[in-house]
Structure 1
Amino acid sequence: MSKLNKLNVDRQTLAELEIYNDNSSSLNIFDILDRTITTGGKDNLKLQFQNPFITQAEIVAMQDTLKTISNDIEKWQIPFTKKMMDMVEVYYFSKSETVISENSVGRYLEGHFYSFKYKDFKDTAINGTKSTLLFLKEMKKYFTRFEKNQLPVLLQQIYSTVQQIMDDKDIQSACSVVNIESMGFNDSITIDQWFRNKHKLKITALIDIAYRLDVYLSMAKAVNELNLTFPEVIDSEKPVLELEGLYHLFLKNPTSNDLAFENGKHFLFLTGPNMAGKTTFLKSLGISIYLAQLGMGVPAKRMKISPFKALFSSLNTTDNLSIGYSYFYSEVMRVRKAAETLQKEKKAFMIFDELFKGTNIKDAFDGSMLVINGLLKWESGMFILASHLTELSKRIDDKPSVFFRYFDSSVDNGKPVFSYRICEGKSDERLGLIILQNEKIEELLTP
């Protein structure tokens, strides 16, 4: 499933958007969406998630596949259980050799010799062969449910591959066995020879197909169960992004928001006080782009997108003492990484949450202006900067490619109230001191 041409997303972005986390105990998007049945299916889903598409054709092909399956989940339920596929995997990783004789007598004698030579031969050649034969018969039966010409492209390709393999005379002969459990020793080692030697590539191709079907079914189930929406994907050199009813998948009762980068606007300056919802919104936006380019549905009522070649975030940069980086220098290196990504990919979506927090306000302001002016030159990308330095907005008011949004808040009886709604314009609301006072910090610090 891996591809050379895939969405450029670095490890920090994946962690910040919580697509994956190095800490396996924390909640992440992959675990929320994973509904695979088999071990190999889960491994293949991880590969799929690591390789988002960058072309409209690839994304739409995946969408068509998932739409077909999600429209009739029961029909597409796979008969390949975890136990069955684990037994097939063990069978193919066995160290015991297959018999090589071409006649039945030779196979019989050779089989009994191997029974003494390899401790696992009998279990492999008998039980493993039976498990794999059951798998093949289930695969053959499974595809009788479908008509090839009614399937989308990706499923047609799978159908054709399965059909071609099943047409092999040896595999047909093996599948003609009526009672697998009563199959004799000689028949078992003959079929074992076919499966693990003569037709090994064909059988392993069917195993891969089983895992791919598990992946597609898992993705389709997630779309249905989480009520995700397939975005409209267009082929455009200039970036296009519109969202209605966007929300974050982690929240049980989320507040949804709309955002559209109108024609000629490619830089969003986002303001609002702490705790108003800016970071959650930025993460939900990055997640939606990532899922859209996987060909999946997204947590929004509507989405329109032209595929990006890179997705980049700088939301939570930390110092790196192991290589001698201070907090500020780590921020600088993160911006450098963004610039290098832009130079390489051109069409990128980038999210920044407060540039240069690790230095004084003057340097932070000047440094932020340097970065903003640089990003404004890249019409091939889209950028969001969330910042508390509202003074920056006055310097870019007259930039035609910049637009402004803020997250609303108010104070009620001395307590901050948040609507978690994005609004047009700017915010100069400052609630930090109120929050400190409400938490009685001054009293606690009084001797």
Structure 2
Amino acid sequence: MGFNIDKQTLQELNLLGKFKSGSVYGLFNKVETSGGEHLLSNMFQHPLEEVTAINERSAIFQSFEKTGTKFPFDVQQLGLMNDYLDPDAGKNKLLTLTDLFVKKILAMLTRDERYKKIIQGLQAVIVTLSKCHQFLSTIRGTDICTGVFGSRIKAIELLLSEPKLEALRLIDIYKTLPLTVLANYDHLLKNGLRKQMKEVLTFIYELDVYIAVSSVSKEKDFSYAKALPGEDNLLEVTGLYHPCINGAVGNPLSLHRKSNVLFLTGANMAGKSTLMKSIGINLYLAQMGFPVAAKEMRFSVREGLYSSINVSDNISEGYSHFYAEVIRVKQAAEAAASGQRLLLMFDELFKGTNVKDAYDGTLAVTQAFAEYEECLFIVSTHIIEVGEALQGTSNILFGYMPTIMDGNHPHYTYQLTEGITEDRQGMLIIQNEGILELLQ
């Protein structure tokens, strides 16, 4: 079925995008190879769904981080190897020998580069196989081999021990090979061992991702979340922060079946939206088995993630800002009512309408959300009277982002605090900016 997340949520949380400024993908995209980049992108687009798979991938990243492994392969050689293995499959040995002979003659008589590229490609295969063998020797006995990734290591070791590949790996690339030997290996690699060679490249791309992501985790001092069954409906985290913000303030959070709604209040600029994005991003990373920006984290596996943080009007559909908000809440309600286990986040519900309707709508929707105990919700608002009306409603946890006044100037702690804010500094900020004086 797949993990459910829509385009708006992906954009609001800035999860994807190689060239998007501040994207979460960009934070982890430190891979060396195009194959590694493709694998990393695929991981980001397809979060895992099973507890075991999540915890196993997390364990692999941790083993690479603990070992501190560096990527040992030559990227240029990998490119030559990949280009060499791609074409010309299916020829028999005689045709391969004939083809190589013709290309060698053309290389001698003209500037034809095809024979040279074949030699370079075969050399790249030999170099790569040799480095792969050396790498496996260097990590023997480490957590990488003894942990979850051990079976993958053993499979590659078995593949490289194939007698013909072992003989090829030991060839001196600086010596000229007889044409018949060259043709024999060319045919073997592109036909009989073609699948095995692709498997070696896939293994190397996996190493690229594991090494790159674990190095980012070590550099940023991230941690690894523990995945739990979805039916537990739990999200417990300490020191959680936005992974793409340097020096971000860490916060605790504990949601569970009997306290599944965080009702969040606080002044504008106090950090409500950033906190919500931090929760959503880290839940998504945890669902991928990736490192998270937190001290500790335990979470029940979700079936989807849904946010409404930066809803805008839709001119092409004729939607006003308020109607776009209503449609977004309707979509979320349908998703929750479908029985899926989701994390749903709503920032400043119904801010596109008048205060009375926003109050009534926020109150009614939040009360309705609290009844869906298979989902977790975060609802923020600056209409603090809604929080007061929700007091005594079961399943709702109240938190706020404080504002500290230094004379007439507000300062923000960005520290989630239990309760409902009493901050009302909007008019004070307007006065501080001298707007009224400008208009007089």
Instruction: Say which of 67, 74, 79 aligns to 2:72.
Output: 79
Q: Per-residue deviation at 1:195?
A: 1.6
> Residue 339 of structure 1: SS of its match in structure 2?
helix
Structure-2 separation of matches of 1:374 and 1:180: 74
Aligned counterpart, 2:115 = 122
Bigger Cα displacement from structure 2, 330-339 vs 401-410: 330-339
Q: Is 1:56 aligned with 2:79?
A: no
CA distance in 2, matches of 1:246, 1:347: 22
1:36 and 2:28 correspond: no
Q: Does 1:131 align with 2:124?
A: yes
For 1:326 and 1:38, how far apart are their aligned partners in 2? 45
Bigger mean CA deviation after superposition, 289-298 or 213-222: 289-298
SS at structure 2 position matched to 1:141: helix
Residue 38 of structure 2 aligns with an amino acid whose one-letter code is: D
The 5-angstrom pairing of residues 226-237 of structure 1 reads: 226-235=220-229, 237=231
Distance, in Å, in 2 between the alignment partners of 1:374 and 1:152 is: 49
Q: Deviations over 1:67-115 (max 9, x none)?
A: 2111111xx3232232222222322344xx3683436xx6543322355
* Aligned residues of 2:67 and 2:142 also touching (Cα < 8 A): no
Q: Secondary structure at the match of 2:172?
A: coil
**Cα deviation 1:254-273 (Å, max 9, x = unaligned):** 22222212561111111010
Indicate the residue corresponding to 1:102 in structure 2: 93
- Cα pair 2:256 2:376 within 8 Å, conserved: no
Select the residue among 2, 12, 29 that pairs with 1:16: 12
TM-score, normalising length from structure 2? 0.91
**2:100 maps to what in 1?**
111
Is 1:300 the equivalent of 2:297?
no
Letter of the 1:81 counterpart: D
For the residue of structure 2 that corresponds to 1:258, the secondary structure is: strand
Structure 1 position 41, deviation (Å): 1.0
Tell me if the contact between 1:246 and 1:256 (Cα under 8 Å) persists in the aligned partners: yes
> Are 2:234 and 2:255, in contact at CA under 8 Å, matched by a contact in 1?
yes
* 1:203 CA drift (Å): 0.7
Task: Quote how far apart the aligned CAs of 1:337 are.
Answer: 2.4
CA–CA distance in structure 1, aligned partners of residues 296 and 406 of structure 2: 34
Q: Distance in 1 between matches of 2:292 and 2:89?
A: 48
Report the equivalent of 1:217: 211
Q: Which amino acid aligns with 2:47?
A: P
Distance 2:404 2:147 in 1: 52
C-alpha spacing 1:339/1:82, structure 2 compared with 1 (3 Å): farther
Q: Is 1:428 aligned to 2:417, yes or no?
A: no
> Does 1:164 find its partner at 2:155?
no
1:396 to 390, 402, 405: 390
Using the TM superposition, give the Cα deviation of residue 154 of structure 1 relative to its aligned residue in structure 2, in angstroms.
4.4
Verify the 8 A CA contact 1:65 1:152 in the aligned structure 2. Answer: no
C-alpha distance 61-181 of structure 1, shift in aligned 2 (>3 A) = farther
How far did residue 39 of structure 1 move? 1.9
Give the root-mean-square deviation of aligned CA atoms: 2.5
Return closer, same or farther for 1:54/1:99 CA change in 2, 3 Å cut-off: closer
Shift of 1:412: 2.3
Question: 1:247, 1:101 → 2: CA distance?
Answer: 59
Mapped to 2, the partners of 1:305 and 1:289 lie a distance apart of 8
Amino acid at match of 2:11: A
- Report how many aligned residue pairs link the two structures: 435
Q: Structure 1 counterpart of 2:183, which letter?
A: I
- CA-to-aligned-CA distance 1:337-369 (integer Å, 9 cap, x gap): 222332446211111101122222233233323
Indicate how the Cα distance of structure 1 residues 383 and 234 shifts in structure 2: closer, same or farther if over 3 A, else same.
Answer: same
Q: Deviations over 1:247-297 (max 9, x none)?
A: 222333222222212561111111010111111111111122112222222
Q: 2:257 touches 2:373 (CA, 8 Å); kept in 1?
A: no
Counterpart of 2:134 in structure 1 is 141
Contact 2:17–2:25 (8 Å) recurs in 1: no
Structure 2: how far apart are the matches of 1:187 and 1:140? 22
Give structure 1 stretches of 5+ with no counterpart. none
- TM-score normalised by structure 1 residue count: 0.89
Distance (Å, rounded) in 1 between the aligned partners of 2:96 and 2:256: 72
Pick aligned residue for 1:413 from 400, 407, 416: 407
Please give the alpha-carbon distance, in whole angstroms, between the structure 1 residues aligned to 2:90 and 2:54: 46
1:242–1:303 Cα contact (<8 Å) kept:
yes
Equivalent residues of 2:305, 2:344 under 8 A apart: yes
1:241 and 2:232 aligned: no
Match of 2:361 in 1: 367
CA offset at residue 402 of structure 1? 0.8
Contact 1:309 1:345 in 2 (8 A): no
Deviation at 1:444, TM superposition (A): 3.5
Letter in 1 for 2:51: Q
Structure-1 separation of matches of 2:244 and 2:117: 45
Identity in percent = 28
